């Protein structure tokens, strides 16, 4: 009898343990992806808290280490059941508000190249937002799938201490401190000024970062510190070099849609931090470091810009990299992701790249992101590291249906050099045969947009050279480069180059950017060096070679490929008084296009 009771007790005890184990929530994986778990999907039970993480720097000059404002959103089971989960982390300078469209915030671009500029308007940002929620981004995507989501405000923004530096070291060290805290290596506090500590007892220590634009820059910035625990990053349209964002081959060039913006403008735009620290930050950062370093007069690359180029800081980086960018992103241009992806591959870092045909922003398909984080944060063997290296959304395809390629640029793409035949003020010819001779001249006039110039049948404000009409589709993939031999009638001149497909669409059926294959800008004064410009001797010819933006595009049969050379681009460059002449020596000018199949594919398409 006693033995029977004992056996029944043991059975009940085992049953109780089994039932309890079944009741405990845990991440679920299917086909290599984290699935939505019902127990994690009830947002009314999520635990949302905020805190301040102590950094290793003091950039607001108050004699105390800066603290970053952090929020945490986690499933209730991380508290009630002791569940530990990995983290998806996004950091931003935008969470607490920005300066918006303040009149006079941007530089006035209507002046001669190198001339002294009128001072622009300084602004102060009025902070918005309430504790404990810094942002709601990422939470509905990742918390139900078994992750904890963390946000932080960048230095000098929101309730974070410090000063914005727009690419300075503190913007790399700030997210590093948060990741260190998630791994028990840094201190977190319940209050900005208090001493009561907070521990991340619910963290596995494995962190993935993502975000778009500036929010996509910060994951790369954190990764360049080599911080342990940052396992994977998914930057979307990241600014990877502030020189490449605000300059182009020595030319002062604005990002698309923001004519007259520069690095000090962006500083003012995001500086939403503590009012008591703003005077110090403005004096030390904006009016000294940024003002002395950015050099709007020459546009040259210098130590200031080198210190804000993440390509130069990649040596410690080890986080797996999945990048995303649009080929028609004329704000943060596609070269930003291309250059980092290329270096990461050379370093042996697990890397993939996703490109689409649209503009700024646009993350990879959820399936790609899920597989990436599932493998690198949860440790699930889903073979994602052996997936195709490049994924490109083909023209007119849906964003979630990219085509897989062995790599980017397409390994089958070979350079095809095209030469110029005279035709101004109408269109000349582009040909694989080198019969170029003579010189042609254009007259600068910013009143005409690039779109208008490309469509004009007859104008002396641009030079246009057309390929034969394509008899077959051709696939361009990679970097187009131009070698140009040119002379200016003044000591300085804007140089703008577009590669387009014609005839031009009317804009009603498709975006006008569908006709722009790629484009680039340069300062002929930097023909010898990116770090030292030299005034041009009017009438003297100089030779310069530079790349246009990376692209992957299929140009349909019936189109013509057009090379357009002009001067001031009224959406991007300074706008000097019209009348400067640019003369191009056709014999010393050519363009090299990467074509899948190389010269044979091009000649077959045009013969």
| Of residues 192, 185, 202, 186, the one with CA closest to residue 150 | 202
State how far the Cα of 65 lies from the Cα of 457, in Å rounded to an integer: 63
Give a three-class secondary structure readout of 72-138.
EEECCHHHHCCCCEEEEEEEECCCCCCCCCCCCCCCCCCCCCCCCCCCCCCCCCCCCCCCCCCCCCC
| Mode of pairing for the β-strands spanning 67-74 and 251-252 | unpaired
DSSP3 helix / strand / coil % (the chain, rounded to 5): 25, 25, 45
Query: What kind and span of H or E run contains 343?
Result: helix 335-346
State how far the Cα of 89 lies from the Cα of 153, in Å rounded to an integer: 11
182, 87 in Cβ contact below 8 A? Answer: yes
Output the six-digit token pair for 23. 């009741």
Any idea of the CA torsion for 50, 52, 53, 54, to the nearest 10 degrees? -170
Output the six-digit token pair for 490. 């003044």
Output the six-digit token pair for 380. 């699930």
Hey, how many other C-beta atoms are within 10 angstroms of the C-beta on 36? Answer: 12
Hey, how many other C-beta atoms are within 10 angstroms of the C-beta on 295? Answer: 16
- The residue from 244, 325, 360, 475 that is catalytic is 360
- The residue from 60, 329, 523, 569 that is catalytic is 329
Residue 360 annotated to the active site: yes
State how far the Cα of 591 lies from the Cα of 583, in Å rounded to an integer: 17
Q: Classify 154 in phi/psi space as left (phi over 0), alpha (psi -120 to 50) or beta.
A: beta
Give the CA distances from residue 82 to residues 73, 78, 198, 200, 465, in Å, rounded to whole numbers and listed in that order: 15, 5, 16, 12, 68
- The residue from 91, 137, 172, 213 that is catalytic is 213
State how far the Cα of 591 lies from the Cα of 440, in Å rounded to an integer: 16
Long-range contacts of 379-387 (CB under 8 A, 24+ apart): 379/206, 380/29, 380/32, 380/34, 382/31, 382/32, 382/33, 383/32, 384/32, 385/320, 385/350, 387/352
Main-chain dihedrals φ then ψ at residue 229, nearest 5 degrees? 110, -25
Q: Which residues are catalytic?
A: 213, 329, 360
């Amino acid at each position: 009898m006693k033995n029977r009771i004992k056996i029944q007790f043991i059975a009940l005890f085992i049953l109780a343990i089994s039932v309890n184990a079944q009741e405990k929530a845990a991440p679920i994986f299917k086909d290599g992806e984290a699935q939505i778990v019902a127990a994690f999907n009830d947002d009314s039970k999520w635990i949302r808290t905020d805190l301040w993480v102590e950094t290793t720097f003091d950039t607001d000059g108050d004699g105390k280490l800066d603290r970053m404002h952090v929020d945490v959103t986690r499933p209730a089971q991380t508290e009630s059941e002791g569940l530990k989960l990995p983290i998806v982390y996004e950091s931003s300078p935008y969470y607490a508000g920005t300066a918006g469209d303040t009149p006079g915030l941007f530089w006035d671009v209507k002046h001669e190249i190198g001339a002294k500029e009128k001072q622009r308007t300084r602004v102060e940002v009025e902070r918005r937002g309430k504790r404990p929620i810094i942002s709601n981004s990422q939470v509905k995507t990742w918390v139900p799938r078994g992750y904890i989501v963390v946000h932080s405000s960048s230095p000098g923004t929101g309730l974070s201490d410090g000063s914005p530096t727009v690419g300075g070291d503190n913007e790399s060290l700030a997210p590093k401190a948060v990741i260190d805290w998630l791994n028990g290596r840094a201190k977190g506090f319940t209050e900005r000024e208090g001493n009561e500590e907070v521990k991340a007892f619910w963290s596995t220590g494995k962190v993935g970062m993502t975000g778009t634009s500036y929010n996509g820059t910060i994951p790369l910035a954190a990764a360049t510190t080599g911080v342990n625990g940052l396992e994977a990053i998914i930057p979307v349209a990241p600014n990877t070099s502030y020189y490449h964002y605000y300059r182009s081959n020595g030319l002062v060039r604005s990002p698309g849609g923001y004519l007259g913006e520069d690095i000090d403008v962006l500083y003012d735009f995001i500086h939403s931090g503590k009012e008591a620290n703003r005077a110090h930050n403005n004096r030390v950062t904006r009016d000294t470091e940024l003002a002395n370093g950015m050099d709007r007069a020459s546009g040259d690359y210098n130590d200031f810009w080198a210190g804000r180029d993440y390509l130069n800081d990649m040596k410690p980086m080890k986080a797996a990299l999945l990048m995303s960018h649009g080929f028609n992103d004329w704000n943060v241009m596609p070269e930003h992701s291309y250059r980092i992806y290329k270096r990461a591959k050379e370093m042996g870092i697990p890397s993939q790249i996703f490109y689409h045909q649209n503009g700024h922003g646009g993350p990879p398909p959820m399936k790609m992101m899920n597989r990436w984080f599932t493998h690198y944060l949860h440790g699930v063997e889903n073979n994602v590291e052996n997936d195709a290296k490049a994924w490109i959304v083909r023209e007119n395809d849906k964003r979630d249906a990219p085509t897989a390629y062995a790599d980017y640029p397409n390994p089958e793409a070979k350079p095809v050099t095209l030469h110029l035949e005279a035709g101004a003020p109408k269109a000349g010819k582009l040909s694989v045969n080198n019969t170029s001779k003579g010189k042609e001249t254009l007259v600068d006039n910013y009143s005409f947009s690039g779109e208008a110039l490309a469509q004009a049948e007859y104008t002396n404000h641009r030079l246009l050279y057309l390929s034969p009409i394509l008899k077959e589709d051709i696939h361009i993939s990679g970097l187009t480069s131009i070698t140009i031999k040119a002379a200016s009638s003044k000591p300085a001149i804007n140089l703008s180059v577009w590669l387009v497909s014609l005839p031009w669409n009317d804009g009603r059926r498709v975006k006008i950017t569908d006709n722009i294959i790629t484009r680039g800008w340069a300062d002929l004064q930097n023909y010898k060096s990116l770090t030292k410009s030299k005034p041009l001797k009017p009438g003297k010819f100089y030779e310069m070679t530079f790349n246009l933006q990376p692209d992957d595009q299929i140009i349909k049969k019936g189109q013509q490929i057009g090379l357009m050379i002009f001067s001031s681009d009224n959406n991007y460059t300074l706008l000097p008084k019209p009348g400067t002449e640019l003369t191009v020596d056709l014999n010393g000018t050519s363009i090299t296009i990467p074509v899948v199949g190389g010269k044979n594919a091009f000649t077959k398409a045009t013969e």
